[in-house]
Amino acid sequence: MADHFKVVRHRSDGNLRLKIAGDFDGNSAFELLDGLKENSNNIVRVSINTGNLKKLHPFGLQVFHLNF
């Protein structure tokens, strides 16, 4: 996993808010996807705050897009 990658999850009233921070690589993409799967029951809206990402590795983006 990329150094210092973190996912903070918050659920409320059918909303799932994810705040991701650090470097986004392939392992980070799978961690984000797992967080989406684990918290998707009864969710109407998902928002992902990417404002605290430091590096976006092309492979991480590809992994996320192919598995979403």
* Token pair for 1: 């996993």
* pTM assigned to the model: 0.85
* First-last CA distance in the chain: 19
Q: pLDDT digits over 10-64, tens only?
A: 999 999 999 999 999 999 999 999 989 988 889 999 999 999 999 999 999 999 9
Cβ proximity of 4 and 20 under 8 Å: no
Q: Which domains does the chain have, with CATH numbers?
A: 6-67 (3.30.750.24)
CA of 63: how far to CAs of 28, 42, 45, in Å? 9, 25, 22
In this structure, how many other beta carbons lie within 10 angstroms of the beta carbon of residue 23? 17
